Every structure is written in C-alpha cells, then in structure tokens.
Chain A
Amino acid sequence: MATSSRSASTPGWPVSGAQSRPPAAQGAGGWTWALTAPLLVFLAIAFLGPVLLMLARAVSDAELPSAWPQTAQLLRDWDGNGPPDDRLAAALGTEILAARRAGTLNRVANRLNYDLVGSRSLVYATGDALERGASVRGFADLARIDRRWINPAVWTAMRHAAGPRTSFYLLASVDRRLDGDGRIVQVEREQAVFVDILLRTFLISAVVALLCALLGYPVAYLLATLPSRWANPLLILVLLPFWTSALVRTTAWVVLLQTHGVLNEALIGMGLIETPLALIYNRLGVYIAMTHVLLPFLVLPLYGVMKGISAAEMRAATSLGAGPLTVFLRIYLPQTLPGLLAGMIIVFTLALGYYITPALVGGGADQMVSGSIAFYTNQSLNWGMAAALSLLLLVPLTLMLFAGRYLTKSVPV
C-alpha cells in the first residue's frame, strides 16, 4: 500500500535505454540514391530535357542557316553597309532555287516574314522566277527579278535571321525589334500586343491571389480553430476541387454563370434583376473561376501554419493585457503571414501559367500569356515565339520563388 515509489513502466514495454533508431536512417546514401535514380532519370528525359530544348528555341535561329547554309555564312560575314556584294547575291539565288526544289523554302520564307511582312512573297516570287530559268550572278540580277530586293530592310531581316543565335523572339515578346542599325526600337503600334498581354496576366494573377487571400484566410482560420470532428469534413470540402479536373470545374462555372444559367435565372426569378448579368466570358468570370480553382493552394499552407500556433500563446497574450484585436494583429497575424505569403505566391505563380480557365470563361480581352504560347505552339507553329514567351513567364516565376523563400524565412514559423 505504499503510495510512493510508483513504478511508471508498463509491463512488457521496456522504456529505459530504448534508443534504437530506424535502420533506414543508417543506410542512407547509396541506397537512397539508387532508389530515387529511376525518377531522376525519368524527370531528366521526360521533363528537363524537353523543356530546355524548347526554351533554346527562343534564342536559336536555324531556319535560314539550314535552308541556305552558304548564304547564312556570307550574311554573317557581311557588315551590312551598302548593297550586298555579288557573291552573296549569287549564293542566295542558287540556294533559293535549291531550297525550292528541296521543299524547305516555305520555312525560311515564313521566318523572314516574322521580321518583315512581305518577305515571304518576295522569296516565293524570286524562287518562281529562278525556276523559270532566270539566273543570278550579282545583286543587279536580283533587283531585276524583283524590285523589292533593293529595299535594305529585306537584307537587314536576312542578316537578323542568319543565326545561329537571335534576339528576335525575345525582343518580339516584349514588343521590341532591332532596326537596321542594330538599335532596339518599339514595334509598330498594331503589332504591339505582348506587353499588354503580359501586364494583363500579372494583373489577373495578382487579383486572383488577393481574392484567394481574402476568402481563404477566414476559411483556414476556421479550419484551424474548430474541433477536428468539424474541421475534417470541412477540410474535405476545401480539398474537393483538387480531386476534380480543372475542365469540369470550369465548365460547372459556365453552367452557373452563363446568361441563362442557374444564377441569372434565379436572380431574375426572385425579381432582383430584370436583365441577366454578364457574369461570364469577361474578366469577372475569369476571376470567379480562377479564384475557385486556386483557393485550396492558399488554404492548405495557411492552415498548416495556423495549426502550429498554440492556443496557449493567444491565452498568454490575452492574460498579459491584449484585447482580441491586439492579439490578432500582434501575435496571430505576424505568425501566419509566412503561410499567407507562401499561399499567395503559389496561387500567383500558378495563375501566371493558367490557360484553360481564361480560355473557357474569359472574353477576347481576358486571354493570358499561356493562351498566346498555346496559339504559337499549336496553330501558327512559331515555336521560337512560344519559347520566348515561356522564358518571359519563367523570369517572374523564378523571382517569385526566391522572394517567397526570403519572405517566408524572415519570420520563424
């Protein structure tokens, strides 16, 4: 019946000296690498390699050099002053004909047309004339076949396309080009579209990140503070969009928001509005659908951070004299800020690359950079331009990544 010297150990459960570690921790090194190697190799072959190859197209210029190798060499050697010499003109004539017969003329003609509209028909017309028997021994012969060869801009365009590296696509992606003297100038007003699209992409992404923060913070707070028997079902509701395809989610919004959709019919039925509201195929629709799709990416990191803040801290602050608002502003918010920033950065970066949602629920003036990338990849087959626009997106993404690491590190979580 002695009350002291109670033994705390339970029979069958040796407690003292139980210091053994899981064996996996010791054998790390060789085996771990060997086991992850298949994935790493897969990533390198299926992801990293193709991405790098694709991005390289933003700065490589292979159409003209591969179709007209000798011309390309001579163009690179030429200083660009005055009319081109006869050797260059003769080589060009020979290779236009050769390329026409080999079927590679359209590629180089298209490439030149990016730089100077009208170059394509000039090259085709010259090819046709050469096929009919015209011969080119010098610059004068070219000018006789087609007067347009006198225009120095044609030769500037050809020099720019002579490869093997070019700044053309990158400059074009920010509405800039090189003029005849090699200076960077703005493209004509009607061709300048990419800066607008880029700014629009940033704006939409920022607004979506902000909306997600405003909507997601209270949700994450609720989830983190509710007892788990309530929080778990709610968490599933938040996660549900994760398990649904983006296409299905977006088309669901179309059903809800369209002119004679569920929402408009309900509002009209209740007599709140008389004519349907324009909720979709405009910027509002893009904001609504993208915010919904991306909300979990904000809620989850925030929820994790909020879960880590102990209730005792809030109580301590309260007992020390801080009212509810002060506790929130001085204790809770600063500690959740890294999670909030992390979530916003994730949402922002994902939104930057969004393609399907704006394409389905946006109007013509709501398309984002990825829409242009898709256009150049799938329709106009201008992969150089697609790659340049992708690179342009990668730069802010990388910056956000570093900013995110810095911002979230400045406050210990």
Chain B
Amino acid sequence: MLSTSSDPDCPLVEFVGVEKVYDGGRPAVANLDLAVRKGEFLTLLGPSGSGKTTTLMMLAGFEAPTGGDIRLGGRSIAGTPPHRRNMGVVFQSYALFPHMTVGQNIKFPLDVRGIRGLEAEARLAEVLALVHLEGLADRRPDQLSGGQRQRVALARALIFRPDIVLMDEPLGALDRQLRERLQSEIKQIQHRIGATVVYVTHDQTEALTMSDRIAVFSGGLVQQVDTPQNIYDRPANAFVAGFIGENNGIPGVVTARGEATCEIRIAGDLVVQATPVGSIAPGDAVLATVRPEHVLTEIGGDIPCNRFSAAIEELVYHGDHSRIRAILPGGATLTMRAPGRAALSQSQPLTVSWCADRCLAFPAEPALAEAAE
C-alpha cells in the first residue's frame, strides 16, 4: 500500500535480538530481528508453535521477552505496561465484553481515556460506518453473527486511533466465504485509514492476499521477511518454499555448480538444471523445487532443458485447470497444472518440462519434508 509513506530508515516497531524462553523449554522465539514500518500491513505467518503469536503478545505487552529489546518509535517499551502501549488488539475469539452493548464495547477505549459525550458518539458513528455496522450499536454481542462480532472487535481496536493494530488470527473462527470477504474489507479499511497492522495467521493464502510484507516463522525463527511476491517466487530456504503455496520437492545430489545454475542428479539418474539458492557445492544433498504451474506438458512446452517423459498417475479435472500427478522414470512424483481441459488421458505417455530459473535448489533440510507431510 502507501509505500511512499513508509520510511525504511525509521521503523515504527523494532524487535532487536528478542528471545522468549518459557522456563526450561526450548525458545519459543529466538534471535528475532524484525522491523515494522509505519503504515504497512505486516503478516507473521507460520505453522502453530512457530512463535508468531508469542511475538505478537510480546509486542502487545502480555508476554515479556527474556532477551533483547522491543522499540516503538525508537524508544524501548520493555517497561511499558500493556494498557499504556496504545495498541489495539483483535483476538480470534473476538473477546467482546458480553455485558455491554456493541456501542459500549466500541466506546470502551474512549471511555477509559476520558473521551465521552458528543466526540465519543461522533467517533462511534465513524467507525461503525467503517466496518459496515450502522444501526447495530444497541445490540448485545450475543445477538450478532461471528462476522459481525469480529467487525465490532475491529472497530473497538480502531476507534482510539492506536499507533498500531495487532490481529491474532482474527478470521480463524469464520467460514471460508466470510473469511474472504472480511480479508478484503480489513485490507480496504487499513488502506483507507493508513493504519499499521501486524497480523498473525497460519493461512498462507490470507497472508499472500493481504500483506505488504510477510514474516515467515518456523521453530521460533524468522525464516524470511519479504513482499508476498518475493516470498512466493524467491523463497529463502526450503521451508519457505514448501510452506508457502504448493510446491514439488525433488531430492537429489549436486553434480556441477555454475554461477547462476547447477546440475542435480535425481532418482533414476535424471539430470535436472536448477537455480541454486544459498551455498551449494557439488556433492551436496539438495532439494530441487518447482511449482506445479511452472511444469509444462508437451502441448505448451518449448523449453530446452529439464525435459522428461513421464507417466500420468492421476488426472483430476478442476474446471479452469486440470491437476496431474506424474511419475518420472526414476520414481520421483510431480504435481502439475494443465490449463483447461487438456487433451490428456490417463493411459497416454506424457512429456514434462520446466525452466531452470523456475527450479530452485536448496540445501536439503528435513523441514520441508516435514511440512510437506
């Protein structure tokens, strides 16, 4: 969004070497360096237990880091209690106050700041319009649907114009259709008021569609922080490659390494040309990844390298595309997408191919294999 207003030199929030260890266990968050720019939508994405929610709770002040420092506008907030941090938090469970009406809920942050009367009413009307809840101010939370409740929670977190809005899986309890609608609504609202949002989710689609930047968490470590496009197209390691979007992972061994390419021998002594990511030398075990949409069938393909005959193991028609699971001669399986109703049948032999620059080679880690299970 407003990339012009974000100034990379002066981040709004900085995590500097932050660590959180619960007594005796392994770190929930380790060695975290992360900057949140003013006005950006930053998503913390990762599987459960990866440390993303702990990071958010440390920022909100509900958890204290066991090491490092968190700064807001350049100043440490380590000693600031959560109610003085001026951050609006939206929880997955909505956390509305059941004994108050919608209006009372939303005005609560104003009330505790001594803002009452006409100004409070004006601001209430403003945020109610923002979240499309006009006329519901007198309802009680238990008279609202899940989507409406989350809008109330959002309005309540916005009305006091916090420095930053924190959202902890806010759409996790909603069904898919509603989730998608609220995704775009939240994004629009954030865009309109220029709010800084830190958003926690385990849903990669949500992260890709909503974020300005994504921080991918795994095992308490940040794996990569980048724009959605870079996260998808240029994953920093095998975990990110496997966690974000759909991907094929083919294990192999490096046989030759050039400046921008390398050769990998995979099962069946097939040789694959790939783009190396990170330090890779001949003899290393690697994982070559290629996304299903980048694997071409014979019909469209005119690619010089990575051209193999394959057998179709499964063919599923999806309307706008067909998904094919193919087996290479050495036994490696590949998932691919063919556009529309491709003129293919299960018995037919197939030639598959993909570009070397679409095929990334990562140092082999068990992480991708785990994530892919």
Partner-B contacts on A (CB < 8 A): 1-6, 310, 312-313, 315-324, 326-327, 330-331, 334-335, 411-412
Considering the complex, which residues of chain B in the window 75-96 have a beta carbon less than 8 Å from any beta carbon of chain A?
81-89, 91, 93, 95-96
Knowing A2-B246, A5-B246, A315-B62, say if A321 contacts B109 (CB, 8 Å). yes
Is A315 a contact of B109 with CB atoms below 8 Å?
Answer: no
Q: Shortest CB–CB separation between residue A15 and chain B, in angstroms? A: 16
Further 9 A-B residue pairs, CB within 8 A, beyond A312-B93, A313-B96, A320-B156: A1-B372, A2-B247, A316-B91, A319-B62, A319-B83, A320-B89, A321-B84, A331-B97, A411-B99
Is B292 a contact of A320 with CB atoms below 8 Å?
Answer: no
| A1 to B153 Cα, complex, angstroms | 40
Knowing A1-B372, A2-B246, A5-B246, say if A321 contacts B86 (CB, 8 Å). yes
Residue from B108, B243, B372 whose CB has the most chain A CB atoms within 10 Å = B108
Is B97 a contact of A1 with CB atoms below 8 Å?
Answer: no
Q: Shortest CB–CB separation between residue A7 and chain B, in angstroms? A: 11
Is B95 a contact of A3 with CB atoms below 8 Å?
Answer: no
Knowing A312-B93, A319-B87, say if A2 contacts B112 (CB, 8 Å). no
Q: Shortest CB–CB separation between residue A3 and chain B, in angstroms? A: 5
| A319 to B108 Cα, complex, angstroms | 11
| A2 to B83 Cα, complex, angstroms | 45
Is A310 a contact of B93 with CB atoms below 8 Å?
Answer: yes
Who on chain B is nearest to A314 by CB? B95
**Chain A residues near B81 (CB-CB < 8 A):** 318, 323
Partner-A contacts on B (CB < 8 A): 60-62, 81-89, 91, 93, 95-99, 108-109, 112-113, 140, 142, 153, 156-157, 160, 166, 242-243, 245-250, 292, 325, 333, 335, 369, 371-373
Who on chain B is nearest to A4 by CB? B246
Who on chain A is nearest to B153 by CB? A316
Who on chain A is nearest to B142 by CB? A412
Residue from A1, A2, A310, A312 whose CB has the most chain B CB atoms within 10 Å = A1
Q: Shortest CB–CB separation between residue A365 and chain B, in angstroms? A: 43
**Residue in A5, A313, A321, A330 whose beta carbon sits within 8 Å of that of B83 in the complex:** A321
| A30 to B318 Cα, complex, angstroms | 52
Q: Shortest CB–CB separation between residue A75 and chain B, in angstroms? A: 62
Knowing A1-B249, A2-B248, say if A317 contacts B97 (CB, 8 Å). yes
Q: How many A-B residue pairs have CB under 8 A?
A: 103
**Residue in B109, B140, B250 whose beta carbon sits within 8 Å of that of A1 in the complex:** B250
Q: Shortest CB–CB separation between residue A276 and chain B, in angstroms? A: 49
| A324 to B153 Cα, complex, angstroms | 20
| A330 to B292 Cα, complex, angstroms | 54
| A312 to B57 Cα, complex, angstroms | 11
Is B160 a contact of A320 with CB atoms below 8 Å?
Answer: yes
Is A3 a contact of B246 with CB atoms below 8 Å?
Answer: yes
The 5 closest A-B pairs by CB, nearest first: A4-B246, A316-B95, A319-B89, A312-B95, A320-B109
Who on chain A is nearest to B98 by CB? A412
Knowing A313-B95, A317-B108, A411-B99, say if A4 contacts B245 (CB, 8 Å). yes
**Residue in A323, A327, A330, A335 whose beta carbon sits within 8 Å of that of B98 in the complex:** A335
| A89 to B27 Cα, complex, angstroms | 102
Q: Shortest CB–CB separation between residue B102 and chain A, in angstroms? A: 14
Who on chain B is nearest to A411 by CB? B99
**Chain A residues near B86 (CB-CB < 8 A):** 321
Knowing A3-B242, A321-B109, A326-B112, say if A315 contacts B95 (CB, 8 Å). yes
Is A315 a contact of B97 with CB atoms below 8 Å?
Answer: no
Q: Shortest CB–CB separation between residue A104 and chain B, in angstroms? A: 64
**Chain A residues near B166 (CB-CB < 8 A):** 319
| A68 to B176 Cα, complex, angstroms | 86
**Chain A residues near B87 (CB-CB < 8 A):** 319
Give 16 CB contacts A-B under 8 Å.
A1-B249, A1-B333, A1-B372, A3-B243, A6-B373, A310-B95, A315-B60, A316-B89, A316-B91, A316-B156, A320-B83, A322-B108, A322-B112, A335-B97, A335-B98, A335-B99
**Chain A residues near B153 (CB-CB < 8 A):** 316
**Residue in B62, B82, B292, B369 whose beta carbon sits within 8 Å of that of A2 in the complex:** B292
Is A3 a contact of B109 with CB atoms below 8 Å?
Answer: no
| A331 to B156 Cα, complex, angstroms | 15
**Chain B residues near A330 (CB-CB < 8 A):** 108, 112
**Residue in A5, A318, A411 whose beta carbon sits within 8 Å of that of B82 in the complex:** A318
